[in-house]
A and B are shown apart, each in its own frame.
Chain A
Amino acid sequence: MTELVIIGGGPAGMSAAVAAYENGIRDILILERDKALGGILQQCIHNGFGLHKFGEELTGPEYAWKYEQKVQELGIPVKLGTMVLDITEDKVITATNEEDGIFQIQAKAVILAMGCRERSKGALNIPGTRPAGIYSAGTAQKYVNRMGYMPGKEVVILGSGDIGLIMARRMTLEGAKVHAVCELMPYSGGLVRNIEQCLNDFNIPLKLSHTVVKIHGRERLEGVTIAKVDERRKPIAGTEEYIPCDTLLLSVGLIPENELSKSAGVSLDRITSGAVVDQNRQTSVEGIFACGNVLHVHDLVDYVSEESEIAGKSAAEYILGQNQAEKVHIPVKTDGKIRYTVPQVITEKKDISVFFRVADIYHNVTINVYDDKQEKVFSRKKLKVAPGEMESIVLKSAAFENAAELHFELEVN
């Protein structure tokens, strides 16, 4: 029996481990599939990490190192090169690595911190051939930043997610020519600062409402045909443009990796593709918590760390049986303009940070929260909200004292 097993040694897992330790848990084990801690941060060699959390600009590896040092100092055990194959609802974890072979651990509590994966080309059904030279942006990032190889020289990027934007700059700095970044939507899903620093500073065109309609080349990619799309995101005939290139990078969305959560019987949110959690980041299965990009995709690692501290602390309280707060059950609903919230349900009467994302770009909005009696319990104005930027508000416990349900609504003025 291990008191707390954490699946994943990226920023979420490490932060949760440290928080659990600081809240009194000593019997912790981190299971990490890679040969080092740090998760995807290891290949994010650009800076911009840690501004919120540490007040300084760090690279991904530097940010990870801060937590890795802490994990080492506290003597929290880690099994590297270890892949978890299964988790049961009773918290029996089956994993495999080279030294132990396949082994099982019974945990008292589990924190899911497996991160997310990139959406692949296959899911997009782009017509044409299937040559070499098509990579998800993160795969290309691994080749360039960790292995020291160039996947290509003449590049088109489909999707303006943050990794795609970062790779537009990275490939340019390595001497490649990035011809265009095509975005299906009329706006970018990436951070404003990345559009400025990664595209505008290098004169890389961002083609909004554009997509790749055909892939050319039999062995290695030879070019792509792009086209403008209408409001229904269908290509408009006559707007096709052929761009010769040897590389197509895809940055078309991130999907939380919840295959293990499913095996543990955790309920998932259709919108986030992550677990349904309460304010403690506890899932529908008691004693199983989730945090970081496996729960919902974050913009900034700083927020991943903060969320994971909540999960780590809550798991500690669960293990120690310390959580004496009065139990309630208040589902949080959204209106569609607000796509989702985390948490999706409130189970304790205390002040709670609620994170959410919107479905489109809206200007001059009011974020309203109503209870089930149509009583407005929270309201705040904002000049602009966008899908690429996660929002958060703090709900005082007094605001939902008598609520059976909370409704998050976006009023566009």
Chain B
Amino acid sequence: MFDVAVIGAGVIGGMIARELSRYDLKICIVEKENDVAMGATRANSAIVHAGFDAEEGTLKAKLNVRGSEMMEQVAKELGVKYKKNGSLVIGFGEEDRKGIETLLKRGQANGVKGLRIVEKEELHAMESNLSDHVECALDAPTGAIICPYELTIAAVGNAMDNGAELLRNFEVSNIEKKDAAYEITAADGQKVQAKVVINAAGLYTDKIAGMVGDTSFTVHPRRGEYILLDKECGNMVSHTIFRTPSKMGKGILVTPTVDGNLLTGPTSVDMTDKQDTSTTQEGFDKIIKEALENVSTVPFGKTITSFCGLRAVGSTGDFIITAPVEGFINVAGVESPGLSASPAIAEYVANMVAEQGVALVPKADFNPYRAPMHHFREASIEEKMEVIKKDKAYGKIVCRCEGISEGEILAALRTNPKAWDLDGVKRRTRAQMGRCQGGFCSPHIVELIAQERNIPIEQVTKSGRNSYVNVSRTKEV
């Protein structure tokens, strides 16, 4: 019997589990995929928004501003890369200027610090690659960038290090109230019991809420496509460059990532299929056109990859954080600024758990820290020498493009939450994420996964379920 079961190991579920692991509680996280951070968390703009977007008085506004303030410390504790690079909302004409003035007022009302409007000359001195047509911008110095799946892996890992359990490939098919607790059943028959259930199932939060009779909201997917460029291009801009929001939406942003790449996107298309993360030619065309309007020299020839995420858009317009029935908490409709708000959402939900009658008694041995996954990658030569002396696997490079050693890959396969597949190794180490996109190193990583998990090579997957990398031995077809 668990005290709390969290459904969904995205950034929201992960951060909630981590927050609750401060207390003397038995916690489990159930996740339908083979790894954490597999839904909207995996593919988004990776921005910690300052908090000027959401309308005053909404949960989005309140939790965004609070989350943004908390994030730097959380990132530090969890060993996650975070960079306060600042955001600029750029304007091209008079209509944009009005929009920017509205954002300034709204941001100030929301309590965002340091907001101001910068004019052309100063702006172009701040960002020399901006298009000549950009006239002014809202400068939000508290805007930041972070890697959302790195944050989630670290949050879940830290929760596990503090006693939480992660159950993967657990696709919830039924929830039943039995006496004082809920019994959660998975499609494959696995079962867990918990006193309090937290529904952080992203796109599927409406379906999960329906299992306890709550049909007060729906969630639909909104496609967002991105193009990621080589590290050579990471210096094109230093701020996150947003366009002024219009009737047509927030438009295409251009931003450096914490790993030094350049990211452009997202598109914004309402969908019905919650599984359709395919990219489209129209999407690519739109990204390229608008990104070039912002920064006319974005070198799309240096594209490394493109991807698509699905935002979980709730039917109310605001975050839906409710307790519709006793012992059951929804955390739904968490679209942007959900990543930014996640530490504040976790804090908010922990208070709701207490209101459900679960005593939050701080654990004396709670350890808020987790060793950074990128520590070796960014260490000095002397520090690396020391590590290699203790474990020679760190001297052996597996991924040549990103310079990732066997030691780092083995650590990803052995550290909570352990990588179980090729993409899991990629997200934890950056191996396969460089110019050759795993062309050279993926066969070696497949061997390491098979060895560490003690499974045959044919059972190694790219990303769980039926995503097998190899289908048989040769001469067996």
Contact, CB under 8 Å: A150 / B467: no
Chain B positions near chain A (C-beta within 8 angstroms): 227-228, 275, 277-281, 283-284, 303-307, 381, 384-385, 388-389, 392-393, 395-397, 400-401, 403, 405, 435-440, 442-443, 447, 457-458, 461-477
Smallest CB gap from B284: residue in A: A125
Contact, CB under 8 Å: A139 / B395: no
- CB < 8 Å neighbour of A151 from B304, B464, B470: B470
Smallest CB gap from A94: residue in B: B381
Shortest C-beta distance, B419 to chain A (Å), equals 15
Contact, CB under 8 Å: B304 / A98: no
Shortest C-beta distance, B422 to chain A (Å), equals 8
Please give, as numbers and ranges, the residues of chain B lying within 8 Å of A255 by CB-CB distance.
435
Shortest 3 CB-CB contacts between residues of A and residues of B:
A175-B477, A122-B305, A132-B462
Q: A202 near B: Cβ within 8 Å?
A: no
Chain A positions near chain B (C-beta within 8 angstroms): 33, 81, 83, 85, 94, 96-102, 117-118, 120-123, 125, 127-132, 135-136, 138-139, 142-144, 146-153, 174-176, 213-215, 218-220, 246, 255, 259
- CB < 8 Å neighbour of A149 from B442, B466, B472: B472
- CB < 8 Å neighbour of B304 from A101, A123, A135: A123
Please give, as numbers and ranges, the residues of chain A lying within 8 Å of B472 by CB-CB distance.
149-150
A196 to B468 alpha-carbon distance, docked (Å): 33
Contact, CB under 8 Å: A149 / B474: yes
Shortest C-beta distance, B11 to chain A (Å), equals 20
A135 to B303 alpha-carbon distance, docked (Å): 18
Contact, CB under 8 Å: B467 / A132: yes
Please give, as numbers and ranges, the residues of chain A lying within 8 Å of B400 by CB-CB distance.
33, 83
Contact, CB under 8 Å: B443 / A97: no
Knowing A96-B388, A149-B474 touch, does A128 contact B439 (C-beta < 8 A)? no
- CB < 8 Å neighbour of B439 from A96, A117, A175: A117
A94 to B106 alpha-carbon distance, docked (Å): 53
Shortest C-beta distance, A151 to chain B (Å), equals 5
- CB < 8 Å neighbour of B469 from A85, A127, A151: A151
A149 to B443 alpha-carbon distance, docked (Å): 10
- CB < 8 Å neighbour of B437 from A99, A121, A148, A246: A121
Contact, CB under 8 Å: A118 / B436: yes
Contact, CB under 8 Å: B436 / A120: yes
Shortest C-beta distance, B345 to chain A (Å), equals 29
Knowing A123-B304, A128-B278 touch, does A219 contact B466 (C-beta < 8 A)? yes
- CB < 8 Å neighbour of B477 from A83, A94, A99, A153: A153
A94 to B397 alpha-carbon distance, docked (Å): 13
Please give, as numbers and ranges, the residues of chain B lying within 8 Å of A128 by CB-CB distance.
278-279
A278 to B113 alpha-carbon distance, docked (Å): 59
Given A101-B388, A129-B278, 12 extra CB contacts under 8 A: A85-B397, A96-B396, A97-B395, A97-B396, A101-B384, A123-B304, A125-B227, A143-B443, A147-B457, A149-B470, A149-B472, A149-B474
Contact, CB under 8 Å: B395 / A150: no
Q: 9 A–B contact pairs at CB < 8 A? A: A97-B395, A102-B385, A120-B437, A125-B284, A144-B474, A149-B472, A150-B471, A175-B476, A220-B468
Contact, CB under 8 Å: A147 / B443: yes
Please give, as numbers and ranges, the residues of chain A lying within 8 Å of B389 by CB-CB distance.
101
Please give, as numbers and ranges, the residues of chain B lying within 8 Å of A144 by CB-CB distance.
474
Contact, CB under 8 Å: B468 / A149: no
Please give, as numbers and ranges, the residues of chain A lying within 8 Å of B469 by CB-CB distance.
132, 151
A127 to B277 alpha-carbon distance, docked (Å): 10
Contact, CB under 8 Å: B470 / A143: yes
Contact, CB under 8 Å: A102 / B395: yes
- CB < 8 Å neighbour of B463 from A100, A132, A213, A246: A132
Contact, CB under 8 Å: A175 / B443: no
Shortest C-beta distance, A97 to chain B (Å), equals 5
A132 to B447 alpha-carbon distance, docked (Å): 16
Among B227, B277, B435, B473, find the residue whose CB has the most chain A CB atoms closer than 10 A.
B435
Please give, as numbers and ranges, the residues of chain B lying within 8 Å of A97 by CB-CB distance.
395-396
A132 to B446 alpha-carbon distance, docked (Å): 13
Contact, CB under 8 Å: B477 / A150: yes
Please give, as numbers and ranges, the residues of chain A lying within 8 Å of B306 by CB-CB distance.
122, 125
Please give, as numbers and ranges, the residues of chain A lying within 8 Å of B228 by CB-CB distance.
122
Please give, as numbers and ranges, the residues of chain B lying within 8 Å of A214 by CB-CB distance.
278
Among A94, A98, A122, find the residue whose CB has the most chain B CB atoms closer than 10 A.
A122
- CB < 8 Å neighbour of A102 from B227, B384, B437: B384
A51 to B396 alpha-carbon distance, docked (Å): 36
Contact, CB under 8 Å: A101 / B395: yes
Please give, as numbers and ranges, the residues of chain A lying within 8 Å of B476 by CB-CB distance.
150, 175
Shortest C-beta distance, A220 to chain B (Å), equals 5
Please give, as numbers and ranges, the residues of chain A lying within 8 Å of B304 by CB-CB distance.
120, 122-123
Contact, CB under 8 Å: B396 / A149: no
Knowing A127-B284, A130-B307 touch, does A149 contact B436 (C-beta < 8 A)? no
Please give, as numbers and ranges, the residues of chain A lying within 8 Å of B280 by CB-CB distance.
127
Shortest C-beta distance, B207 to chain A (Å), equals 18
Contact, CB under 8 Å: B440 / A117: yes
A175 to B471 alpha-carbon distance, docked (Å): 12
Knowing A83-B397, A147-B443, A220-B468 touch, does A98 contact B392 (C-beta < 8 A)? yes
- CB < 8 Å neighbour of A148 from B396, B438, B473: B473
A218 to B468 alpha-carbon distance, docked (Å): 12
Contact, CB under 8 Å: A127 / B278: yes
Shortest C-beta distance, A83 to chain B (Å), equals 4
Please give, as numbers and ranges, the residues of chain B lying within 8 Å of A100 by CB-CB distance.
395
Contact, CB under 8 Å: A139 / B443: yes
Contact, CB under 8 Å: A122 / B437: yes
Shortest C-beta distance, A3 to chain B (Å), equals 25
Contact, CB under 8 Å: B475 / A152: no
A147 to B476 alpha-carbon distance, docked (Å): 14
Contact, CB under 8 Å: B477 / A102: no
- CB < 8 Å neighbour of A150 from B278, B403, B473: B473
Smallest CB gap from A43: residue in B: B443
Please give, as numbers and ranges, the residues of chain A lying within 8 Å of B227 by CB-CB distance.
125
Among B388, B470, B474, B476, find the residue whose CB has the most chain A CB atoms closer than 10 A.
B474
Contact, CB under 8 Å: A117 / B436: yes
A151 to B460 alpha-carbon distance, docked (Å): 11
Knowing A101-B388, A148-B473 touch, does A139 contact B439 (C-beta < 8 A)? yes
A100 to B405 alpha-carbon distance, docked (Å): 14
A130 to B422 alpha-carbon distance, docked (Å): 13
- CB < 8 Å neighbour of B388 from A102, A123, A129, A139: A102
Please give, as numbers and ranges, the residues of chain A lying within 8 Å of B435 by CB-CB distance.
117, 120, 255
Please give, as numbers and ranges, the residues of chain B lying within 8 Å of A94 by CB-CB distance.
381
A33 to B436 alpha-carbon distance, docked (Å): 16
Contact, CB under 8 Å: A33 / B397: yes
A102 to B474 alpha-carbon distance, docked (Å): 38
Please give, as numbers and ranges, the residues of chain B lying within 8 Å of A120 by CB-CB distance.
304-305, 435-439
Please give, as numbers and ranges, the residues of chain A lying within 8 Å of B275 by CB-CB distance.
218
Smallest CB gap from A213: residue in B: B281
Knowing A122-B306, A151-B471, A219-B465 touch, does A99 contact B281 (C-beta < 8 A)? no
